[in-house]
A and B are shown apart, each in its own frame.
Chain A
Amino acid sequence: MSEKKNERVGVYVCHCGSNIAGVVDVVDVAKWAQEKLGPQGVIIAREYKFMCSSLGQELIQKDIKELGLTRIVVAACSPHLHEKTFRTAAKNAGLNPYLVELASIREQVSWVHTDKAVATAKSKAVVSGAVSRVIENVALDEIKVPINPNTLIVGGGIAGIQSALEIANAGFHVYLVEREPSIGGHMAQFDKTFPTLDCSACILTPRMVEAGTHPNITLLTWSEVVKVTGFVGNFNVTIKKKARFVNEELCTGCGICQEKCPKKVIDEVYEAGLGYRKAVYTPFAQAVPNFPVMDKENCTYFIKGTCKACEKFCPTGAIDFKQEDQLINIDVGNIVLATGYDLFDARRVSNYGYGRLPNVFTSLEFERLSNAAGPTSGNIVLRDGKTAPKSVGIIHCVGSRDKNFNNYCSVICCMQGLKFAHLVHERTGATVYNFYIDMRTAYKAYDEFYQRVLEEGTLFVRGKVAEVTNAARYESEKGKLVIQVEDTLVGKQRRIPVDMVILSSGLQPRHDAKEVGKLFGISCSMDGWFTEKHPKLDPVATMTEGIYIVGCAQGPKDIPSSVAQGAAASARVLDKILQKEVALEPIKASVDQEMCSGCRICNGLCPFNAITFLEDRMVTEINPALCQGCGTCVAACPAGAISGTGFSNEQIIAQIDGLLLRNLEIQEAVPA
């Protein structure tokens, strides 16, 4: 053990109402700390109902002033919740905030253990560890770094657009990066939006145009982020701008190239495979920007070496077959990820027959069918392209709330199913059946829409569909799709023949969400959605400071929620920008060059290139601006020359000894 230090420690044990006190005998813990840890320097140990309340904080502040405390231990919740609260309280009472330690006896004790005696004993050990550790703490000062006022937004769907506009309108620059040729996202593919049935394009395209022409927004479509380095306020991002083979400086967006291009390609992305596009194309008429993109895989010139029809007819000479991918490097202070979702692949539910039975459609296919600008000009017809259905079955929860696929509820599918029912009813007059597990219409004006669809005469069957088949058992089923379902309200099996089946598919995390998460240093939940900092109180921030998540990247949600999150993240970004600088935790490694032997063991360990070897003096140096404070080099140094603030060897060893109550054993071994 290190030599005895004369610190005056205050221990504060929180009841947290009954959250802690219900399982841990907090009075006993405080009494024990006062008695047993007294020789170590505990001057006072108190318990209080809510330490985080202003009265609780005042209690600590009063003791700091009156009892001259030099160290504080608060035995309460996880440091991730209230460390800042108590550090600030100490600071306001004139004590350096880094001389405060939180001992978590709630998340790590009272909430996870049931035996009162055992939980109380563990709490004592945890408090003992924190007391031993806090004595070794040293006063630290926060490090301030400037914030770059530029922001990167990844994903140009409605959430990303909203976020970009909020920041740009506040007067700061935004780089909006989109992987597809145009911004707009999934919303650009829809015909109507529930529950008001506004035309999707009518409300979205003005926003797209605003983003496309905003002086504070640099639009980078057909582009992807490939590398991110740095930290909050100071990110360096490399973006790959894929070759469009169209010179954006010269292109006027007249569309002649698309008209003249002889090569038709099935549009799997925007038209969900129902329509065609050309090899040189803009995905849809209102695309922003409206410069086309050349699809190299399908372009006749790239395949056969001849054609160049587009080049011949382009009035401004904008076609450039020699264009190459470009790497763009930008510096930004904050990053918002609005990368959206993938639609659940309905082929996976093979008993519903999608991909096998022609008249089974996915929700996205139906969106395109019902869209006035879609492949059928808004006519709802069967796969043959002309017959209107007389009866339609809409199956909810496809791939959602299903142990075989995704456990979660995709949030939007009920309302989507109702919207489809309304559109089918309005345009074809067909009989519509909805097959649902539970109807979930729990937002503003949603349930009213449900009532409206009910009143229109749509039929609802409560039960999970077992199968969609074209194998007729009865005469009336011939030439139809038969939906086999257990009607759980009646308690009977039913077979319902229909002409068309629409699968209200769920939402899934992007197929590459995990890789994208790694790129930006954030994590995914068990289901694969990006993890927010706090599920209730911090839904758009992430564990990595300066990186925010909005829209469906964070979890399934509808348009209003996506827009709200986009704006919320912008408020957080603007808050950071307006502060002009950000305080970083002063957790850094440094080298005592007197002790450094120049062995260079640490040199290869730092992924942030913070460690350099000074050839002239044969010692190693750590750049504090680049050091992120992981402490790997501290652990590696054989000479013990590297020390890490906040998590020093002395602190950790003292905590080990304290947790094992060695501090007591040694004291008790000494004769009084």
Chain B
Amino acid sequence: MTDKIFEPTIIGFTCNWCSYRASDLAGTARMKYAPNVRLIRMMCSGRLDPTFVLRALSGGADGVMITGCHPGECHYIEQNYKALRRFLLLRRVLAGLGIEPERVKLVWASAAEGARFASETTAFVEEIRKLGPLNWGKPVAQLENLQEEISKLEEVSA
């Protein structure tokens, strides 16, 4: 455990119009960033049901990145503001559950900001790396069997 760098698993939610296109642009421009984030595309950050975040965290993700259009630039006029409201509330709920609220991050990225998407992703992976694994929802018995856990992670490491 000590000699191996912790590679977090992160679920990223993107909106169809801005932030997913930003990740497309990062790809087209061959910008390199940390490979730990696995994306889910939705039509709008407003679609983000906070239970999705909880599902991801309880299902093995160490962090969740929520991305959307910049305030005022939402394809659906103002729905990213609703995502912002839910995000702020969700962080309080997480704190109440004893989980570091920093495990969930909100990033605005326009379709032109591939570079921003890439750098924010890499930065977030580093932040989560510092926080360490979350291990939410795992029985303690299973946690004690760390060697097996690690081998399982290695098989499909992010």
Q: Are A and B a genuine interacting pair, yes or no?
A: yes
Which A residues are within 8 Å of any B CB, using their own CB?
Answer: 78-80, 104, 106-109, 111-115, 118-119, 121-122, 124-126, 129, 517-518, 521, 523-526, 531, 543-544, 587, 605, 607-608, 628-632, 634-636, 644, 646-647, 649, 652-653, 655-657, 659-662, 664-665
Report the nearest A residue to B44, measured CB to CB.
Answer: A630
- Which residues of B in the span 1-29 have a Cβ within 8 Å of any Cβ on A? 9, 11, 17-18, 20-21, 23-24, 26-28
- Whether A107 contacts B27 by the Cβ 8 Å rule is yes
Report the bound CA distance from A644 to B46 in whole Å. Answer: 12
Report the bound CA distance from A229 to B77 in whole Å. Answer: 11
Question: Which B residues lie within 8 Å of A661 (CB)?
Answer: 60, 156
Report the bound CA distance from A118 to B17 in whole Å. Answer: 28
A-B contact pairs, 8 of them (CB 8 A): A78-B24, A111-B30, A119-B35, A531-B112, A543-B111, A608-B77, A630-B75, A656-B11
A523 CB contact (under 8 Å) in B38, B41, B73: B73
Is B118 part of the binding interface, using a Cβ–Cβ cutoff of 8 Å?
yes
- Whether B27 contacts A113 by the Cβ 8 Å rule is no
Report the nearest B residue to A524, measured CB to CB.
Answer: B112
Which B residues are within 8 Å of any A CB, using their own CB?
Answer: 9, 11, 17-18, 20-21, 23-24, 26-28, 30-33, 35, 38-44, 46-50, 52, 55-56, 59-61, 69, 72-73, 75-79, 82, 86, 110-113, 118, 152, 156-158
- Whether A607 contacts B41 by the Cβ 8 Å rule is no
Question: Which B residues lie within 8 Å of A628 (CB)?
Answer: 76
Question: Which A residues lie within 8 Å of B31 (CB)?
Answer: 112
Tally of contacts, chain A with chain B, CB under 8 A: 151
- Whether A543 contacts B21 by the Cβ 8 Å rule is yes
Given A121-B157, A121-B158, A129-B40, the answer on whether A113 and B46 have CB atoms closer than 8 Å is: no
- Whether B35 contacts A118 by the Cβ 8 Å rule is yes
Report the nearest A residue to B69, measured CB to CB.
Answer: A523
B44 CB contact (under 8 Å) in A108, A631, A660: A631
Given A121-B158, A653-B55, A660-B61, the answer on whether A526 and B113 have CB atoms closer than 8 Å is: yes
Question: Which B residues lie within 8 Å of A108 (CB)?
Answer: 23-24, 27, 39
- Whether A525 contacts B112 by the Cβ 8 Å rule is yes
Question: Which B residues lie within 8 Å of A112 (CB)?
Answer: 26-27, 30-33, 35, 118
Report the bound CA distance from A630 to B23 in whole Å. Answer: 19
Report the bound CA distance from A526 to B114 in whole Å. Answer: 10
- Whether A114 contacts B32 by the Cβ 8 Å rule is yes
Question: Which B residues lie within 8 Å of A106 (CB)?
Answer: 27
- Whether A80 contacts B40 by the Cβ 8 Å rule is no
A126 CB contact (under 8 Å) in B26, B28, B38: B38
Report the bound CA distance from A653 to B43 in whole Å. Answer: 15
Q: A111-B27, A111-B28, A111-B30 are in contact. List 4 more A-B contacts (CB 8 A).
A: A122-B158, A632-B47, A632-B82, A652-B42
